[in-house]
Structure 1
Amino acid sequence: MAQENPTVKPTQAELTLLNVLWKMGPATVRQVHEVVSQTQKTGYTTVLKILQIMHDKSLVIRDESNRAHVYAAANSQTQTQSSLIKDLISKAFGGSTSKLVMRAIDDSTSEQEINDIRQLLNSLEK
């Protein structure tokens, strides 16, 4: 199922639809539109067109066996996030993961988040 294509990065609109598909699983255009329209004003045909473009870019797969086509994310949320982070590290942080982490951890990081990060770092050291 995974079509990992590291050169294709989803746009913000595509990420919105991918988040819906990752949460719902395979869904029709109508089902995706219903979820998206709860938080933003988007037309059905706009959702359809974006999903068609995403299919052309191999970001989603499409089951055409029924009258209503069913779309599903081609890659997992983790795979997509990893690809986006690698691209961001390369482009914005000169390939340095530590620079990304230091920039991400600033005064707005909560005490709970810092504790979670500390636990993760401790588990990685073991």
Structure 2
Amino acid sequence: MSKKPSDFELQILGVLWESAPQTVREVRASLTDEKERAYTSVLSVMQVMEKKGYLRREKASSGNADLWSPAVDRAAVTSPLIRGWVQQLFGGRPSAVMQQLLDGDSVDASEVAEIRRLLKEYESNNDVS
């Protein structure tokens, strides 16, 4: 990867990281920004992403549609982006990021439980007291 993916490329990667392989039509239907995009536009971006090394495709065993999958690991792409945002927007403080997320209205009890589980796992694996 020579440079970071665009916002739209990240959105496509996000869809495929959650569930792959998928056809272009399936990816297009799963995009979360609710913009109306032509099939050919999505296909064109995905073909460019393949050339950049972000995606790979294979012929489907039945039908004409290709199946697309991420060619890069989520952490390899997102970790540098997130570290940059934490540094630029929150003075390098992960706790400030967490506070910002918790102040939002999209955190329910199951998310809080998962955050607690992740913190306990982190503490046991990293000798944090």
Q: TM-score, normalised by structure 1?
A: 0.65
Structure 1, unaligned runs of 5 or more: none
Mapping of 1:1-126 within 5 angstroms?
5=1, 8-36=3-31, 40-63=35-58, 69-106=66-103, 108=105, 110=107, 112=109, 113-126=111-124
Q: Given that residues 17 and 74 in structure 2 are in contact (C-alpha distance below 8 angstroms), is that contact kept between their aligned partners in structure 1?
A: yes
d(CA) in 1 for partners of 2:113, 2:92:
26
d(CA) in 2 for partners of 1:71, 1:117:
31
RMSD value over aligned CA atoms?
Answer: 3.4
Q: TM-score, normalised by structure 2?
A: 0.64
Change (3 A) 1:47 1:110: closer
Q: Given that residues 8 and 57 in structure 1 are in contact (C-alpha distance below 8 angstroms), is that contact kept between their aligned partners in structure 2?
A: no
The percentage of counterpart residues that share the same residue type is: 31
Q: Secondary structure at 1:10's aligned position in 2?
A: coil
Structure 2, unaligned runs of 5 or more: 125-129
- Total equivalences in the alignment: 120
Higher relative contact order, chain-length normalized (CA < 8 Å, sep 6+): 1
